[in-house]
C-alpha cells in the first residue's frame, strides 16, 4: 500500500505581499513543449496579493512555436496564485497522462468563500474552475483522468433554512467533463470512498457508464459504495479526511491509500 498522491501547494502565508526582486519562477512541462513563467508586475495592485486578478501576467509559452500567451488572455481566467505540486514529489507540477495535459493553480477568493482551484488545460489553452470553493486534485495513475475531493460552502439544506458545508467526489476526464458522485442540489457529505476495477472481457463490449450507489442521512450525506468500474487502482479514504497541504487549523484534512 502506498499513500495517495495529491496535488498540493507550498506552505507560505496567505495574502502577503510578494517579493519583486527575485527571479521569475519558470516550469517546463514533462513533454518539453510548454513552459510556464510566473511573471508579476510590481506596479499592478492585483499582483501584490493572493486574490482575484492575480496572475494576469503569468505566461504560457509554446516552446515549439515560440508563442507566448498571458493568462489574462486565456479563456476562463479569473485569477491564479500558486502552482500546485504533487505531495510526494514537490518537483512534479504537471499532470500529463495520455491526452491529459494539465497544471493546477490555487486562488484565494475571500474570507467567506475561502480558496478555489483552477485547472490549466494546455490543449486549449483554457482555465477551468474545479469548484465554487476548494477542490483537491487526485491523479489516477495510468489513466487520462483525475478525481477531486470537492468542497462547497453554505449549501442550503432541503426543507430547512439552514446551510451546510458539503463535500463529494468528482471524476474528470481529459476534456474536463466531470461526473459528480452526489445528488445535485443536495447538502452532500462524503465520509469515504472505495474504488475498484474488474477486468472486462472483450466480448462484453465497451465499458458501461459509471454507477454510484449511496445511502443518505437527514443531511443527504452520501457514502459511495461502488464507483467507476473502469478504474485500475483501488482507492480507500479514511473517514476523517486529512488534507496534507492545508496549513490552517480550520481546514478539512485529507489522507488516503492506493493499493494495486
pLDDT the model gives residue 1: 43
- Read off the pLDDT of residues 18-49 as tens digits, 9 standing for 90 and up: 444 347 899 999 999 999 999 999 999 999 99
* pTM (two decimals): 0.70
Candidate ranges 123-137, 148-162, 245-259; pick with highest mean pLDDT: 123-137
Q: Is the pLDDT of residue 229 over 60?
A: no
The larger pLDDT score, comparing residue 16 to residue 27, is at 27
Domain extent at residue 91: 2-259
What's the structural domain count of the chain? 1
SS3 sequence of the chain = CEECCCEECCCCCCCCCCCCCCCCCEEECCCCCEEEECCCCCCCHHHHCCCCCCCCCCEEEECCCCCEEEHHHCCCCCCCCEECEECCCCCCCEEEECCEEEEEEEEEEECCCEEEEEEEECCCCEEEECCCCCEEEEECCCCCEEEEEEEEEEEECCCCCCEEEEEEEEEEECCCCEEECCCCCCCCCECCCEECCCCCCHHHCCCCCCCCCCCCCCCCCECCCCCCCCCCCEEEECCCCCECCCCCCCCCCECEEEEC
Amino acid at each position: 500500500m502506498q499513500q495517495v498522491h495529491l496535488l498540493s501547494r507550498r506552505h507560505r502565508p496567505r495574502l502577503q505581499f510578494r517579493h519583486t526582486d527575485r527571479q521569475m519562477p519558470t516550469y517546463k512541462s514533462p513533454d518539453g513543449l510548454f513552459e510556464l513563467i510566473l511573471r508579476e508586475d510590481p506596479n499592478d495592485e492585483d499582483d501584490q496579493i493572493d486574490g482575484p486578478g492575480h496572475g494576469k501576467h503569468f505566461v504560457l509559452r509554446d516552446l515549439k512555436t515560440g508563442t507566448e500567451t498571458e493568462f489574462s488572455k486565456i479563456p476562463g481566467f479569473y485569477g491564479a496564485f500558486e502552482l500546485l505540486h504533487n505531495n510526494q514529489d514537490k518537483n512534479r507540477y504537471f499532470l500529463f497522462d495520455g491526452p491529459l495535459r494539465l497544471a493546477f493553480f490555487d486562488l484565494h477568493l475571500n474570507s467567506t468563500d475561502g480558496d478555489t482551484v483552477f485547472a490549466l488545460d494546455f490543449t486549449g489553452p483554457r482555465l477551468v474552475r474545479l469548484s465554487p470553493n476548494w477542490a483537491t486534485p487526485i491523479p489516477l495513475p495510468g489513466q487520462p483522468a483525475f478525481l477531486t475531493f470537492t468542497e462547497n460552502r453554505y449549501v442550503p439544506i432541503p426543507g430547512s433554512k439552514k446551510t451546510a458545508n458539503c463535500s463529494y467526489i468528482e471524476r474528470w476526464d481529459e476534456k474536463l467533463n466531470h461526473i459528480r458522485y452526489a445528488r445535485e442540489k443536495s447538502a452532500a457529505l462524503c465520509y469515504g470512498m472505495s474504488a475498484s476495477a474488474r477486468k472486462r472481457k472483450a466480448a462484453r463490449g465497451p465499458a458501461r457508464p459509471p454507477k454510484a450507489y449511496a445511502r443518505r442521512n437527514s443531511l443527504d450525506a452520501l457514502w459511495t459504495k461502488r464507483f467507476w468500474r473502469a478504474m485500475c487502482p483501488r482507492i480507500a479514504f479514511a473517514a476523517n479526511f486529512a488534507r496534507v497541504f492545508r496549513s490552517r487549523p480550520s481546514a478539512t484534512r485529507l489522507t488516503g491509500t492506493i493499493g494495486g
